[in-house]
Structure 1
Amino acid sequence: MAAPEAWRARSCWFCEVAAATTMEATSREAAPAKSSASGPSAPPALFELCGRAVSAHMGVLESGVWALPGPILQSILPLLNIYYLERIEETALKKGLSTQSIWRRLWDELMKTRPSSLESVTCWRAKFMEAFFSHVLRGTIDVSSDRRLCDQRFSPLLHSSRHVRQLTICNMLQGATELVAEPNRRVLETLASSLHTLKFRHLLFSDVAAQQSLRQLLHQLIHHGAVSQVSLYSWPVPESALFILILTMSAGFWQAGPGGLPCRLCGEASRGRAPSRDEGSLLLGSRRPRRDAAERCAAALMASRRKSEAKQTARAAPATRVTRRSTQESLRAGGIDTKREPHPPATSHEAPGTKRPPFAPATTSSASPSSSTSSSKRAPASSGPQPKPLKRFKRAAGKKGARTRQGSSAESEDLYDFVFIVAGEKEDGEEMEIGEVACGALGGSDPSCLGLPALEASQRFRSISTLELFTVPLSTEAALTLCHLLSSWVSLESLTLSYNGLGSNIFRLLDSLRALSGQAGCRLRALHLSDLFSPLPILELTRAIVRALPLLRVLSIRVDHPSQRDNPAVPGNAGPPSHIIGDEEIPENCLEQLEMGFPRGAQPAPLLCSVLKASGSLQQLSLDSATFASPQDFGLVLQTLKEYNLALKRLSFHDMNLADCQSEVLFLLQNLTLQEITFSFCRLFEKRPAQFLPEMVAAMKGNSTLKGLRLPGNRLGNAGLLALADVFSEDSSSSLCQLDISSNCIKPDGLLEFAKRLERWGRGAFGHLRLFQNWLDQDAVTAREAIRRLRATCHVVSDSWDSSQAFADYVSTM
């Protein structure tokens, strides 16, 4: 009897609270109803009025609402704002209630976007709160415009931050400055523990203040947080300084910028322990007597970038250049240790208490014979003919650019408009000499001779495990930075380089990957590489990667156009380094998944076979647009798979002309180790379909291990579909449970007959049937009847496709 009494008491409490506010709510609702021009509307139900009153006073009644019985609470949930709806989630689950439909309705009404069909939303609450956080951060949503979003007792950013798993920073680094501001400290601390993926999209040129905020943001989210993946998308004109900043911070390097405040978390982490002299070398690898190229590169690039930022921030009068040696001498004269002072002396960001050195007379690199060695890269033009210097990259956020963006409020922030605007900006006297400094460090020289700080001045922190670069063209400086950071990036597990225009820098990339593979604790297991061109043929590039990374598990490589080496007649076609394309056999590797996208032209089958022979653990192979000189070459590849790749489970062919390889296809279908085979747009039934289809069905009926068969885009037609139905007959030993017959010119009557044959044979449910882009709209009634019958035996996935788009394909099959 205790439970009913408690239920009755809480119900009475709810009615008392509702009665206290019913009169006021009724008067508010009735007034607009009487004055409505369209006539009187039905007043809200008493329960709804009570629920609105309770939701408006949740600050006082929250604990009592949580204790309400499930049926009453279920009716109140849709009336709560997002803050209390999120807070009551755990209580609702304990009472057997779900809020998913409420969050989905909020998404449809407030976000007004439809999730991708490829996205499977498991929690609409988390999805809504993550999107809500991003909109509030960018200022693209007004929380005061809807009562469900507005509550003075809650901070929108802080309340939604714990649901953010991925954060996207766009354009001119919007949101970075807001997140590192002192009022949002708790928001940033929450993000540091919840955020896993950080994405950059369509970045534009930014000023020093925004980059300094980004530096602090990356330091807390990566070095002191849980971010494990950094992805960059669509950056047609990358700003070298900003790109290098993101790379070095992602790799774990940290050094406060000019005028930057000391990190509170760094002070807490280092408190109570003395810094180790060899800590940097332990973090970057053991058994190395001196700093390696990655350390020298990071120190050089960060030092040059700090110098550039200091120049722009100080806005001082242009000073005459002084040599590195004279600068160091003036520092010593001022009582400053050059090894402990990484910043240039002429800056307005000196640390408190630092003694400013006296002004030293300006000298040039050619004024003193003793400085000729250190100034060989900076000799003036009048000193005689010099080698062509490396390309210098200008800072995009110069004085003129800053005035342009601040003075024109109507200026569009669209990516392409801004690219054309920036292209016309000129900056005189302020160039980032990253190429000179970086190449001096990367060439093996000691950074100290260039006046750069030792790596011990740069701390090494936690680094990310996944790096993705999509459509980000890499300059020479950026490619060098990436390669030399990679050589010691032992925490990196997955690397994606997609359409970055590497060119000949691919050789440096291979060298860095080989060096990384030799590091103790190397975790790189997945590499995705794609580009328009490659100086190496794709198969030779694959062999080089497999040799450099024998512990790699996943390799995806795609080249859209043939390389110059594929055409020996191209003049000046120098070959790659000999150590890259050795003729020695590939050692045994750990490759489990291999995906290759080939350019046009016949591929040498023996090179592909050599990779397959060394990949005994291969479980999945995908060949896209592969062309072989003859069907015998294709048969050689299949024979190699059967003999050397006994663990292979999934095999996929896409956009390959297999019309003349029907005997090889039959040989493949008789393989008793494969579980899934895909022939996508392979023109299988273009020749001899009446003879080939029965042979194919017979091979499949005798294969008891094949679980999935995908045949999209092969012009199967009604006749081919009915022949394929025999695979599910009573005398078949096939265990096929997934069938994809999309884009195969199938009409409703043929699909209906296919369904009837499955019913006649009494075949049980065999899994999934995909029917995308077939001619089912020609007779909608018959198509619906066919799909209804098929759903009794399998899960059918179809679409409403306009078959008139395939008229040309229809004519070719008549």
Structure 2
Amino acid sequence: MGIPDGSSLVQMCIVKVAQNIDVLERKVLNLPVSLLKDLLPHLNIYYLDRIETAAATKGISTSVIWATIWRDLDQTWRWRAKSALPNQDWKQRCLERLFHMVIFTQVRRGGSYLSNLSDSSILSMTVKHVRVLSLHTSTKNICRLASGDLRPILSTLEKGVTSLKLLDAKALFKHGRKYVLFVLHRLLDHGSVREVVLRRNPDSSFLSWLMSRRRGPQGGLSVSTAPETSQADGHRSVVDDGELEEPAAKRLALDVEENPEVLCSEFSSFSSSADHCPEGQIHSLDFEVSKCEILTTVSHILPTWLCLHTLHLHSDWLIHEEEMSVLVESLRRLFLNPGCSLTDISISHICGHTHLISVLRACPTLLSLSLEICPPADRNAWRQQPHFTENKVLCLEKLSVKSTGPMTVKCFLPALTWAPKLNSLHMTGIHLSRQFFHTLAGSNPLLKVLKLEDINLADYHQEILHFLEYSVLEELSLKDCRLLDKCTVKKDFLVPFVEALKGISSLQSLMLAQNRLATSAIEIANLFSGCNPSKITKLDLSSNFILPAELLEFAQLLETFRPVQRLTLDLRFNPLDRDPEVKGQALRKLIPYCNILTDDWDSRSTMADHVSVM
């Protein structure tokens, strides 16, 4: 760590102290607060970690330093959507990232935060902070975790890792399969992993082995009492009850050397004191599924996977009627078991429009459901929507529906009608009707979060105002909803809209991105006017073609109204670069009242701003 030319005497001393912190550690805590603040950015992560507790007693936070280190480690952060993360644990994120970089890739040694630290010392320090372990294609480095010199590291991972990501599982097993399976066995069965994310599935034997971690509170009771015919959609069950009673481990034909207990014996320092190794439980599974896996592995194991809480299935191909019917039947049989723990289901690329109701009928105690639906292009291929049993009340609290084709809200209004506990609704690409907002007002009185995206709301102004009058929303997001497309005088809607929002005392977040507000964004400032100002703390006005002059007028109003609570204001992807001087004036007026999210977007070199107002 050199001393740059032109440094002051104080700066040179700080650098020298940082270079000799190993012998000066106790003494630096006696430094004045201002000098201690200047010293901390020069320390490596080992001493920054050791000193931060004592620094906190002097009112000094290291969060900003850890955030700076994170930006240096994550070179893609500038291209991602920036958001306010005041509660983010930057230290944990930094040390978890460093662990992965040291053991699986390579660390750039440019920053002072890694000076005088060997790879082994970085691993020993960072491993305690790893909560999510991501295993990539570097089989050689993963096998190192099974080696003698890194067994203490693996032991620590067992205690701390709760989520395991296999991002290219197929490649992991090309070489060193035995070592990889041993590491996975220690983490899943002897460790604390309860969440698994699986991408690019390997052979079916590994998937079966993975899904055998399913023992629930009743030990995988048989569901043989379930009738053969599905009550969900009328399809005959394809799951054999005898197979469900047989433990998955017995059905799995693993080679002897890949048996978990044999592996533990081979790596003697990890041998279990009990006669048999424990069998872990996977509570959350997020994986890419194939047609074959739905029809075989998933459908056979789901009905007895009693400990499963969350199931997310992704696919790059359409899940057609046959596969979906099999999956719904498996879910129905699982939910017939009183020991069922599944509360959260997410499925993507479903071909059809009737499956929302079918899933909810099969899973009446489900709390959260997210579906991505691809409706048939041919309207003649649409099946009749299944009906709920009369007076059927769902436990559903959170619903998300994304349509990639023409689909009307009529397809799932019954779900809203029979879900009185619904508190979060997210819809994308759905054609609404006037009945939609009336249903929300009458049937979903507890709704706190409403997110509508890529939905034309230009014809439903009165219905929106009526709904807001009776709502208890905490978060409202209307993204790319063409709110003002049919307004001759935009104030005619915006003025009562703002007044209605001010009447919702519970509202904390308002997102109006991509609504072509332009000059009308000034009206939104009136949220904070009058004797009953809004209490929102997050306002998203991104991608609305707001020019610097309009932002300045918005800022002047905010300066006049003086919001009681500090506001997080998102201004990204607006052409504020058109007049940097006026932009600067506006931002200076906003800073006392806002945490501003902005960017260095060059509107003149792209067409994105023009597209936003087409």
TM-score, scaled to structure 1: 0.61
Structure 1 pair 795–246 and aligned structure 2 pair: CA distance change class (3 A): same
**Aligned partner (choices 436, 449, 468) of residue 637 of structure 1:** 436
Structure 1 pair 281–460 and aligned structure 2 pair: CA distance change class (3 A): farther
**2:302 corresponds to:** 486
SS at match of 1:495: strand
Deviation at 1:775, TM superposition (A): 2.6
- Please give the per-residue CA displacement for 1:600-623, whole angstroms capped at 9, x wherever unaligned: 224262x42210111000111121
**Aligned partner (choices 241, 247, 267) of residue 211 of structure 2:** 247
- Please give the per-residue CA displacement for 1:113-158, whole angstroms capped at 9, x wherever unaligned: 6485358474444333322322222252488999946567965433
- Please give the per-residue CA displacement for 1:719-756, whole angstroms capped at 9, x wherever unaligned: x2344445544376655554333222222222222333
**Aligned partner (choices 518, 523, 528) of residue 717 of structure 1:** 518
C-alpha distance in structure 1 between counterparts of 2:260 and 2:468, whole Å: 66
Residues 694 and 723 in structure 1, CA contact (< 8 A), matched pair in contact too: no
Residue identity in the other structure for 2:367: R
SS at match of 1:175: helix
| Residue 659 of structure 1 pairs with residue 465 of structure 2 | no
- Please give the per-residue CA displacement for 1:28-56, whole angstroms capped at 9, x wherever unaligned: x99xx9xxxx9xx999967865764x55x
SS at match of 1:753: helix
SS at match of 2:360: helix
Deviation at 1:171, TM superposition (A): 1.7
**1:693 corresponds to:** 491
| Residue 783 of structure 1 pairs with residue 575 of structure 2 | no
**2:334 corresponds to:** 516
**1:293 corresponds to:** 243
Structure showing greater radius of gyration is: 1
**Aligned partner (choices 401, 426, 446) of residue 596 of structure 1:** 401
C-alpha distance in structure 1 between counterparts of 2:169 and 2:260, whole Å: 29
Structure 1 pair 811–136 and aligned structure 2 pair: CA distance change class (3 A): closer
Residues 195 and 283 in structure 2, CA contact (< 8 A), matched pair in contact too: yes
Residue identity in the other structure for 2:431: T
| Residue 549 of structure 1 pairs with residue 499 of structure 2 | no
C-alpha distance in structure 1 between counterparts of 2:276 and 2:75, whole Å: 46
**1:767 corresponds to:** 567
Residue identity in the other structure for 1:302: L
Residues 651 and 677 in structure 1, CA contact (< 8 A), matched pair in contact too: yes
**Aligned partner (choices 220, 239, 246) of residue 284 of structure 1:** 220
Residues 740 and 771 in structure 1, CA contact (< 8 A), matched pair in contact too: yes
Count of residues paired in the alignment = 578
Residues 223 and 337 in structure 2, CA contact (< 8 A), matched pair in contact too: no
C-alpha distance in structure 2 between counterparts of 1:206 and 1:727, whole Å: 54
Structure 1 pair 790–468 and aligned structure 2 pair: CA distance change class (3 A): same
**1:739 corresponds to:** 539
SS at match of 1:568: helix
**2:271 corresponds to:** none
**Aligned partner (choices 152, 157, 162) of residue 196 of structure 1:** 162
Structure 1 pair 497–458 and aligned structure 2 pair: CA distance change class (3 A): farther
Structure 1 pair 94–568 and aligned structure 2 pair: CA distance change class (3 A): same
C-alpha distance in structure 1 between counterparts of 2:118 and 2:147, whole Å: 20
Structure 1 pair 568–133 and aligned structure 2 pair: CA distance change class (3 A): same
- Please give the per-residue CA displacement for 1:196-246, whole angstroms capped at 9, x wherever unaligned: 11111133445576222222222211211111211123x2x7433444443
Residues 205 and 239 in structure 1, CA contact (< 8 A), matched pair in contact too: no
Residues 542 and 557 in structure 1, CA contact (< 8 A), matched pair in contact too: yes
Residues 66 and 91 in structure 1, CA contact (< 8 A), matched pair in contact too: no
Deviation at 1:795, TM superposition (A): 3.9
Structure 1 pair 80–763 and aligned structure 2 pair: CA distance change class (3 A): closer
% identity of equivalent residues: 27
**1:751 corresponds to:** 551
SS at match of 1:513: helix
Residues 652 and 677 in structure 1, CA contact (< 8 A), matched pair in contact too: yes
SS at match of 1:542: helix
Structure 1 pair 731–122 and aligned structure 2 pair: CA distance change class (3 A): closer
**1:568 corresponds to:** 380
Structure 1 pair 140–156 and aligned structure 2 pair: CA distance change class (3 A): same
Structure 1 pair 97–624 and aligned structure 2 pair: CA distance change class (3 A): closer
**Aligned partner (choices 784, 800, 806) of residue 600 of structure 2:** 800
**1:180 corresponds to:** 146
Residues 562 and 599 in structure 1, CA contact (< 8 A), matched pair in contact too: yes
Structure 1 pair 613–162 and aligned structure 2 pair: CA distance change class (3 A): same
Structure 1 pair 46–71 and aligned structure 2 pair: CA distance change class (3 A): closer
What are the equivalent positions in structure 2 for 1:35-184 lying under 5 Å apart?
Answer: 52=19, 54-55=20-21, 58=22, 65-66=25-26, 69-71=29-31, 74=36, 82-83=45-46, 85-87=48-50, 90=53, 93=56, 100=63, 103=66, 114=77, 117-118=82-83, 120=85, 122-138=88-104, 140-141=106-107, 148=114, 155-171=121-137, 173-184=139-150
Deviation at 1:190, TM superposition (A): 0.9
Deviation at 1:625, TM superposition (A): 0.6
Deviation at 1:498, TM superposition (A): 2.1
Deviation at 1:704, TM superposition (A): 1.3
- Please give the per-residue CA displacement for 1:484-525, whole angstroms capped at 9, x wherever unaligned: 222222222111112254433222221222222222332222
Residue identity in the other structure for 2:219: L
Residues 670 and 699 in structure 1, CA contact (< 8 A), matched pair in contact too: no
Residues 585 and 610 in structure 1, CA contact (< 8 A), matched pair in contact too: no
